[in-house]
Amino acid sequence: MSKNGAGKRPDSPVALVTGASGGLGQALALELDALGCRVAVHYNSSKEAAEAVREKLTNPSVLVTGDVGSWEATQALHAHITAELGPVDVLVNNGAIRKDSLMAMQNPADWAQVIQTNLIGSFHTARVSVPHMLRQRWGRVINIVSPSGIIATAGQTAYSASKAGLIGFTRTLASECGRRGVTVNALSPGFMITGMTNTLPDRVIEGMEDKAPIPRFVTVEEVARSAALFLDQDCMTGQVISIDSGVSIT
Ligand SMILES: NC(=O)c1ccc[n+]([C@@H]2O[C@H](COP(=O)([O-])OP(=O)(O)OC[C@H]3O[C@@H](n4cnc5c(N)ncnc54)[C@H](OP(=O)(O)O)[C@@H]3O)[C@@H](O)[C@H]2O)c1
């Protein structure tokens, strides 16, 4: 064991990627597989997309489902992973939703569902995964956040609050886990064309690229390539790593 209490990284860590049926989640699952992880490919409703991802993986893997906003469903999917691959060593909280509306007109149930899925769901998955990481004194939690957690975007109070909350969760959990070799970081991608964004009206997307210091959207593959950084760095914790064309500094 090293001076900071960190143990040895498992030879082939078990990595849970929530929302691996979606745009960024697919890329992260493939990248973690390429880095030697055994991936739990999670989906909520898009089973076929998740199966297609799993077929591309080279290491042992498992397909799991469940709404992370439900504590019971999260416990069940965690038990499924543990039975098939072993306990989770790397958690990627990627699955999320957005329900945009001006706050003054927003349906309270929609607002609550965004917080339940994006923020409370990330707590649920961490709650089931982190105790094992602490026991083995090695683990990684990677929370996918967004520039919207920092920058005001009209119509996104729910999404923004969920991602800002997740940044606070990241920092505080990092402070709780550092002495036992578990790092907790946030990854903040810029605008990517995925299922979450491809239904936005053209008028919203038009001109958006040009507002960033690097005037183009990022790709899911570019964002997923950062997985190696999170796996490798023992002394990076509580950070928000932005791969966002510089949007967060505007
Ligand atoms: N696209 C962007 O421009 C952008 C920018 C910044 C940050 N992000 C973040 O990047 C992450 C990935 O989003 P994406 O762009 O790849 O969007 P996406 O293609 O819509 O993927 C979202 C994923 O979340 C899953 N999901 C939805 N509800 C869930 C629930 N209740 N429990 C568990 N999983 C659930 C979906 O699963 P099913 O399809 O199986 O239901 C899907 O796999 C999100 O955290 C998002 O906030 C995206």
Core vs surface per residue 169-204: b (16+ CB within 10 A) or e: bbeebbeebbebbbbbbbbbbbbbebebeeeeeeee
Report, as residue numbers or ranges, the catalytic residues.
Answer: 159
Mutate which of 81, 124, 196 to test ligand 1's pocket (most atoms within 8 Å of Cβ)? 196
Torsion of CA 52, 53, 59, 64, to 10 degrees: -90
Q: Is the pTM of this model over 0.85?
A: yes
Question: What percent of the chain clears pLDDT 70, i.e. is strictly above it?
Answer: 98
Structure confidence at residue 194 (pLDDT): 95
Answer whether 219 contacts ligand 1 (Cβ < 6 A).
no
Structure confidence at residue 189 (pLDDT): 98
- Cα 113 to ligand 1 centroid, rounded to whole Å: 14
Binned at pLDDT 50, 70 and 90, residue 234 comes out as very high
- pLDDT for 135 beyond 70: yes
User: Mean pLDDT throughout 8-31?
Assistant: 98
Structure confidence at residue 3 (pLDDT): 62
- pLDDT for 201 beyond 90: no
Q: pLDDT, tens digit, for every residue of 221-230?
A: 999 999 999 9
Sign of CA dihedral 165, 171, 175, 180: positive
Angstrom distance (rounded) from CA 139 to CA 135? 10
- pLDDT for 1 beyond 60: no
Name residue 59's amino acid.
N
Answer whether 97 contacts ligand 1 (Cβ < 6 A).
yes
Answer whether 111 contacts ligand 1 (Cβ < 6 A).
no
Yes or no: say if 151 and 247 are a contact pair by the CB < 8 Å rule: yes
Look up residue 1 and give its two tokens: 């064991």
- Cα 186 to ligand 1 centroid, rounded to whole Å: 15
Domains by residue range for the chain, with CATH? 14-190+220-243 (3.40.50.720)
Yes or no: say if 61 and 13 are a contact pair by the CB < 8 Å rule: no
Answer whether 189 contacts ligand 1 (Cβ < 6 A).
yes
Answer whether 149 contacts ligand 1 (Cβ < 6 A).
no
Binned at pLDDT 50, 70 and 90, residue 202 comes out as confident
Q: pLDDT, tens digit, for every residue of 44-81?
A: 999 999 999 999 999 999 999 999 999 999 999 999 99
